[in-house]
Structure 1
Amino acid sequence: MSPKKRKRRKDRPTAPVSAAAPRTREADAPPARTEGRISRTPVVVADPPDRRITLLWVVLTLVWALGTFLALANLLFTAMDLQDAAVAAADPTAPAPQEAMDAVGNALVWVLVLALGVPAGGAVTALVLRRRIAAIGFTAALVLSAAPLLWVMPPAELWDALRAHFGG
């Protein structure tokens, strides 16, 4: 027997416990914890986050960042094509061709979907999945996208442009 076990056995009281004596809670309870004593309670380590959810956040972030940039570039080039068509027209007061207006409307819809819809959808998804940090990040992305967009084109003008595009 090791010296530690021998020492522990010597410290125990040698008074025998009679079989007739009832056991009390104090006798069944573990000894009170003292300073310097090591706890043998196992530590629960949280599982790593699900990789599919992490992939979802990465994809949504890339779609928002790259998609918004590309949609804005598409809107810019489409508006430049419309401007070139207006300059090349014989009558400058004539309305723009319907195909060019449809292209500008489609480009505007893509900007709105990618700049506002993707971060809003990501924030709602993060709230549903109870991911607080992701919800904060996508809400910040929504604010970063919406503030300049609504500053350049106020909501009333934006609504009129969308209504004209979808209404014909």
Structure 2
Amino acid sequence: MSPKKRKRRKDRSPGTAPAAAARTDQDPDRAPERTTGRISRTPVVIADPPDRRITLLWVLLTLAWILGTFLALANLLFVAMDLQNAALAVEDPTAPLPPDMMDSVGNALVWVLVFALLVPAGGAVTALVLRRRIAAIGFTTALVVSAVPLLWVMPPAELWDALRAHFGG
């Protein structure tokens, strides 16, 4: 061996030899302890991805809220337009409207309330029970986004009276 190589081998730091000896004495199932200046080849454990069923639940609830609210509002609009046409076609303006038309308006209103208020409220409660903070924040925001305009257009007292009249007969 050349003198330069021999010199390099002698100049090794004394801390590397005991670390190598200690590593051979360890249990093979246990991960080696981290030494300073050394790269650890221990595999990193990555947590499993979130359950896909829960993700599917959030997607379905979000789609039910967005599409359901939109379609329920469209249904309410078309029923109100039919009611307006029926009111214009009546010869006597003081005559009461047909009860089947009023029932269809009540049903459309109930569907709007279900999709605009109950779906995001149910999603927020489910997210809180499952301890999903971001989903709870999202569904609570969706509830506020739906409830504020709805309750601004029709105050809660009028909404309660309309529901009582629809279900009470």
TM-score, length basis structure 1: 0.78
Q: Quick check: 87-96 or 66-75, which moved more?
A: 87-96
1:58 paired residue number: 59
Does the C-alpha gap of structure 1 residues 51 and 11 become closer, same or farther in structure 2, counting only changes over 3 Å?
Answer: closer
Aligned ranges 1:7-86 → 2 under 5 Å: 11-12=17-18, 35-39=36-40, 43-86=44-87
1:125 paired residue number: 126
What whole-Å deviation, never above 9, does each CA across 1:23-79 have from its counterpart, x for those lacking one? xxxxxxxxx966424456653311101111111111111111000000000000001
What is the number of residues matched between the two proteins? 144
* Whole-Å separation in 1 of the counterparts to 2:94 and 2:39: 88
* Whole-Å separation in 2 of the counterparts to 1:79 and 1:57: 32
Secondary structure of the corresponding residue to residue 125 of structure 1: helix
What whole-Å deviation, never above 9, does each CA across 1:70-117 have from its counterpart, x for those lacking one? 000000000111111011001111111100000000000000000000
- Flag structure 2 segments of 5+ consecutive residues without an equivalent: 1-8, 19-32
- Flag structure 1 segments of 5+ consecutive residues without an equivalent: 13-31
* Whole-Å separation in 2 of the counterparts to 1:10 and 1:36: 10
1:140 paired residue number: 141
Corresponding letter in the other structure for 2:58 = W
2:115 is the alignment partner of 1:114? yes
RMSD over aligned Cα atoms: 2.3
% identical aligned pairs: 81
* Whole-Å separation in 2 of the counterparts to 1:10 and 1:160: 83
* Whole-Å separation in 2 of the counterparts to 1:159 and 1:51: 39
Secondary structure of the corresponding residue to residue 128 of structure 2: helix
